[in-house]
Amino acid sequence: MTAMNGDLAPEHEGNGSEWEIIPTGAPEEFGLAQDATFQQKAVWQRQEMFLEAFRRCGKIGKSAEASGLTRWAVIHWQKGDVFSFNRRLESAHADYCEGMDERLADPRWLLEGWSGRGSNWSNRR
């Protein structure tokens, strides 16, 4: 945003090629080559399974367990930032937080003590 005209378009220098690419979330954008090995593709798939579970519950340990992984596998991915794992984890966490906002807006959650796990604990006797 420029101070002079209040334009909302970000300023950039150079040929503008980085502005022409719209990210799609494709594996190649995170470093997985199109000619990746079977092992690399397997790591990517395990990461994706973990991230999907993390989007739902927001807890690393529970997400790892639900994906058939250990917490140590996730720590390894974080330390090595394998396939930009940290950036993808941040995105999954943002998805979880947005989902939490929606769940908190649900009157069943606020008024009835709804657990969000498909059962209503306040009706148990």
Which ranges in 1-125 belong to alpha helices (H)? Answer: 17-20, 38-57, 60-66, 71-80, 85-105, 107-112
CA distance 76 to 66: 18
| pLDDT tens digits, 16-25 | 565 567 777 7
Answer for the pair 95, 55: CB distance below 8 angstroms, yes or no.
yes
Q: What is the pLDDT of residue 8?
A: 54
Q: Are 39 and 33 in contact (CB under 8 A)?
A: no
pLDDT tens digit string along 66-96?
999 999 999 999 999 989 999 999 999 999 9
Residue 27 has pLDDT above 80, yes or no: yes
Does residue 121 have a pLDDT over 60? Answer: no
Local confidence band at 114 (pLDDT 50, 70, 90 cut-offs): low
Q: Is the pLDDT of residue 111 over 90?
A: no
pLDDT tops 50 at residue 119 = no
